[in-house]
Every structure is written in C-alpha cells, then in structure tokens.
Structure 1
Amino acid sequence: MLDNIATGTIVIEDMEVGMVRSLQKIVTDQDIEMFAEVSSDRNPVHLDDQYAQDTIFEGRIAHGMLTAGLISAVIGEQLPGHGTVYLGQTLKFMAPVRPGDMVEAIVEVLSIDYSRRRVQLKTEARVGETVVLKGEATVLAPSGKFD
C-alpha cells in the first residue's frame, strides 16, 4: 500500500498500523550545495566532480543526511505531521543518491502505543526499485484530545 497524498496531520487517535505516506523529490545540485552550506559538510565527494570520480562511487553523491531529511519531511508534514516530536531514528545507508535522482521517502506505521502517544515507524528511501536508506523512527504523535 502506498499513499502519495499529503493529508496533513494525523492525530494518534486516528492512526492505524499499516498507514503509509510518502513524498518524491529530485535531488538537485542546488540541494546538495545548500545542504553542504547549512550542515558545514563540504566533503568533496558531494561537491567536486573530479575528486568524486576517484572514489568508490565514481562520481558525486548526495549527503546521506540530505536523504534522511526527506524521511523527516514525511514525518513532520504528513505522518503523523505537524506537532510530531522525534524521539529516535535508526538509519542504514544502502546505496548512493546522485544528483538528478528521484528519491521516494516512505514512512509506514509499525506500532502504536496510544497511552504514551508513541509511534514506531518504518522509514525507507528508494531510487527506483533500489532501497538507498532504511531504518526505524520513534515519535511522539500529536493528540486530538484536549485535557
């Protein structure tokens, strides 16, 4: 199941195991340059074509954390959405993302602890059929109840 529709915040009372949200983004040279500027990570494998040709990647790649940021965007904007607080995230980088790649970030609800407002999420990013990043996130979800 894959929903690619931004539906806004889903409060914990309306969440169900198996819910999925995603977004797609083409990673541009400008994205990589802006991420390098904001993060202060100016590793030449991301920014210098000539340098990157001599690496195991044989060309420039996007920062892994730029790709992870797309997961954060799904969590913060769609599932659960606004008001969500990140409690933890595991990440395993599986393959490089290159300038011009279309990345799909996918988040799926694995489990819900309604009493503590904790949600466990499967997180994944793909370029085509290739999984480039995988992990799990734990978040504090917003509630629709007013105490």
Structure 2
Amino acid sequence: MLDNFERGTICIEDIEMGMVRYLRKQVTDEDIEMFAKVSTDRNPVHLDEDYARDTLFQGRIAHGMLTAGLISAVIGEQLPGHGTIYMSQNLKFLAPVRPGDMVLAEVEVTGIEIDKRRVKLDCRCVVDGKKVLVGEAMVMAPSRKFD
C-alpha cells in the first residue's frame, strides 16, 4: 500500500472498478478546535477533557464529521478528484476518534455509470486496524468531454 497518492483528477473515462485511494492524517487538538470554530459545534465532549471524562467515551473525541471530512478530502482531491460533485453520502460511526489518533481514510470504486458520470464509492476510516466509520458515497466525476 502506498503512503500517498497524487492529488488531481481521474476522469470518468479512466475510473475502474476496485480503484482505491486514501490518505492518512493524525487528528490533532488544533484540528478539533478549528473544526469547532468553523462548524460552530462546541459540544464539550470535543473540547473539555474534564467534561468528556465523565461521558460514555471517558475522554475527548473528535467530531464525527471531522473524521468524515477526511473521506471528502480523498474524494475531492484524489478519486475522482478535482471537479468532483458530491451527490450523496451515508455514514455509520462505529467508534470514536481521539486526539492523536492516526486515521486512514479510504475510498474504493464499487460502481460506475459512465453515461451519467456517476461513481459509487465504498468509504471507510480506520484507526489502529479498527473501522471507526463506514459508508457509501455517490459522486459525479469530471469528464474529458467537458474540459
């Protein structure tokens, strides 16, 4: 497995079943704080260790949508990449992501409709070999015909 893929565009004409792209990112306190600021979600389970210690999670966790945003980054930057339009996304959160966790966000092509430029993607995020998020996305891929 390669550590990094080039960012850019894979046009619908070049997408193949089973193609996989991914990124690895360590979630930092700064990431969580910036996400809270941008999203306005200041739930203390994300920001206040004293509060979070007394919750089900027994400590601070990253926003689920911050983790999901890593899937968006793979889709928007790598597969299909620049020019991709999100059509739908479903997600299931399986386990928390904590500050300091290294997240592997991965997408895999599971369906292609060339005439409609649609690509179905299996999406997952993994921490220490354990799935923390799974889902499926439908996107509209760029095409050389529209350059």
Q: TM class by shorter-chain length?
A: over 0.9
Q: Is 1:38 equivalent to 2:31 in the alignment? A: no
For 1:92, the equivalent position in structure 2 comes to 92
Question: Quick one: structure 1 residues 10 and 59, their matched pair in 2 at CA, closer, same or farther if it must change by over 3 Å?
Answer: same
1:1-147 correspondence to structure 2 within 5 Å: 4-146=4-146
The ranges of structure 1 where at least 4 consecutive aligned residues each deviate by more than 2 angstroms after the TM superposition are 1-4
- Provide closer, same or farther for how the CA distance between residues 103 and 93 of structure 1 changes in structure 2, counting only shifts above 3 A: same
TM-score of the pair, normalised by structure 1:
0.96
Q: Which runs of 5+ in 2 are unaligned?
A: none
Residues 84 and 67 (structure 1 numbering): CA distance in 2 closer, same or farther, change over 3 Å? same
Percent identical: 70
* CA distance, structure 2, for counterparts of residue 3 and residue 17 of structure 1: 21
Count of paired positions: 147
Q: Deviations over 1:52-94 (max 9, x none)?
A: 0000100000000000000000000000000000000000000
CA distance in 2, matches of 1:67, 1:6: 21
Report the secondary structure of 1:9's partner residue: coil
Distance of 2:83 and 2:17 partners within structure 1: 19
Q: Distance in 2 between matches of 1:12 and 1:57?
A: 41
In the alignment, the residues of structure 2 paired with residue 109 and residue 57 of structure 1 have an alpha-carbon distance, to the nearest angstrom, of 33
Q: Normalising to structure 2: TM-score of the pair?
A: 0.96
Counterpart code for 1:39? S
1:3 Cα deviation (Å)?
7.1
Deviation at 1:5, TM superposition (A): 1.6
- For the residues of structure 2 that align with 1:59 and 1:45, how far apart are their CA atoms? 7
Letter of the aligned partner of 1:47 in structure 2?
A: L
Distance 1:63 1:114, change over 3 A: same
Change over 3 Å in CA distance of 1:3–1:49 after alignment to 2: closer
Residue 145 of structure 1 aligns to a residue in which SS?
Answer: helix
